[in-house]
Structure 1
Amino acid sequence: MLFLVNNYLIFWKGWPGLWNFFAHHELFGISALRIPLSPDAQILGWIQTIILILLILVIILFVLKTPIRTLSEDSRIFTRFAAYLTRACFWAVFIVGCVDIVISFLRLEDLLSPMFGKVMAVELGRSVFRGTYVHYPLIILSFVIAFFVRGLGFTWLALLVVIAEFQIVISRFVYSYEQAFMGDLVRMWYAALFLFASSYALVTEGHVRVDVLYSRFKTKTKALSNAIGCVILGAPLCLVILTTGMWGKANSLNSPLLSFEVYQQGFGMYTKYLMVGFLVVFAVCMLVQFMGYFLNSTAELIEGQMNSDQKLKNNP
């Protein structure tokens, strides 16, 4: 999450970032910048550095203040957080999808001007305006809804995809009416269904496991293999997605998000950049869940070892 916040401050708000700030002062052996930072940028760099130091201190203090907290409890916190992100993203794609398809329909049929005026009709035809003043507020609203609504709503996305596809069939073959935004809605919800549900399927053993030896393992061996898999395979995959896609302004994830990239049809939904963001959500949710899974597996290993030691102590 710190990486995402830092990425937002650097590429969306123009903050210098720790690397440029350290390079400006030639710290840690980093080569000096060709163009020194402005005084305002230096202030922002100091703020970023202080915030990072404070966060590290808060984490250390939290660990010291909660010595009796078990790994299983920490694992459940990670799982609940991943579930919250998933719920929030479900509500986001549901609400944004419904609102954006209505706007796209009204724009295609030239109904925006009579309803909202010519100026607003033109602005709603710009992806930057629609994303900033329509999509983003709805996404914030979705996170609020997800905080109070505890159900894992993404399971309903399967039904929504079927409904969206069904209305295409009805409108095409009954009314001979089909537009690009109708297919865009199906793709948006279909992508969200598989990417958002991945972290939930991980913790509930819903993923298809290539099971040759795992089922024959003992409980301790299963926990060990899960822990190693999370650290060696799972977490690095998520980190690769985030770093390669968001390390620079022109990278594969940052570029569409910054430019509010849309489809080339012209009158489709303005949600292509959000579908790029689905990969960010996927990587973050999976990373959080992998860490929760790792902590849970480690707890099983420790508890298993403690139980074995206790048995040996009771039966010398």
Structure 2
Amino acid sequence: MLRLAESLDAVSRGIASVIRWFALAMVLIQFGIVVGRYVFGVNSIAVQEGVLYLHAALFMLGAGYTLLMDKHVRVDIFYARADAATRRRIDIFGHLFLLIPSMLVLLYWSWPSVRNSWAILEGPISVGGIEAVFLMKSLIPAFCVLLILQSLSCLARSFVEARRT
């Protein structure tokens, strides 16, 4: 079970090693946009949308890694004061009854929109923008799948820990 968890973790780490550079790219492109607009009077909708695409990819594809590193948003009302066994039970409950089902529902309901977007190769958000909205919409199922995989890894680790105690 731990080998499976490590394999799933490797997926999240691999994706994170690529998308972490998106943050730097976003900063540099945004800086270029500001300099271009206010110093040279040049503007590009496509370049502006590029920042949007990078931002969306960074957060949607990085969610699994965030879960792996335990840096996601957590409601600490009970969790912060709980012992290790109670925390493990809360985590198992959260993965089994909240995270995985919600990702499955989101995947199910978003799939027709993504499929239709690919069928027509949906064009830009704005006139002159990037002609690839279908790629951005594809981040939704990718987000769901990556979170489900990382959730399964967390569950496997929690079950192994539960058996040890």
**Shorter-chain TM-score: what band?**
over 0.9
Q: 1:294 aligns with which of 147, 155, 158?
A: 155
Q: 1:276 aligns with which of 137, 142, 148?
A: 137
Question: Which runs of no fewer than 5 residues in structure 1 stay unpaired?
Answer: 1-70, 88-151, 305-316
Matches within 5 A, 1:91-102: none
Residue 266 of structure 1: how far off its partner (Å): 4.2
Task: State the distance in 2 between where 1:263 and 1:186 align.
Answer: 14
Q: 1:252 aligns with which of 113, 130, 133?
A: 113
Task: State the distance in 1 between where 2:83 and 2:2 align.
Answer: 20
Count of aligned positions? 165
Instruction: Calculate percent identity across the aligned residue pairs.
Output: 24
Structure 1 length normalisation: TM-score? 0.50
**Residues 264 and 224 of structure 1: is their aligned pair in 2 closer, same or farther, counting only changes over 3 Å?**
closer
Residue 224 of structure 1: how far off its partner (Å): 1.4
Task: State the distance in 2 between where 1:77 and 1:264 align.
Answer: 37
Name the aligned partner's letter for residue 270 of structure 1. Answer: E
SS across alignment from 1:207: coil
Q: Is the 8 A contact 1:224 1:298 kept in 2?
A: no
Structure 2 length normalisation: TM-score? 0.93
Structure 2 counterpart of 1:75? 5
**Residues 265 and 221 of structure 1: is their aligned pair in 2 closer, same or farther, counting only changes over 3 Å?**
closer
Higher relative contact order (CA 8 A, sep 6+): 2
Residues 70-111 of structure 1, C-alpha deviations (whole Å, 9 max, x = no match)? x22221122113334x25xxxxxxxxxxxxxxxxxxxxxxxx
Structure 2 counterpart of 1:144? none
Q: Is the 8 A contact 2:117 2:134 kept in 1?
A: yes
Larger radius of gyration: 1
Task: State the distance in 2 between where 1:233 and 1:171 align.
Answer: 45
Structure 1 segments (4+ residues) deviating >4 Å: none
Task: State the distance in 1 between where 2:113 and 2:27 align.
Answer: 30
Task: State the distance in 1 between where 2:143 and 2:126 align.
Answer: 27
**Residues 252 and 267 of structure 1: is their aligned pair in 2 closer, same or farther, counting only changes over 3 Å?**
same
Name the aligned partner's letter for residue 160 of structure 1. Answer: A
Name the aligned partner's letter for residue 259 of structure 1. Answer: I
Question: Which runs of no fewer than 5 residues in structure 2 stay unpaired?
Answer: none
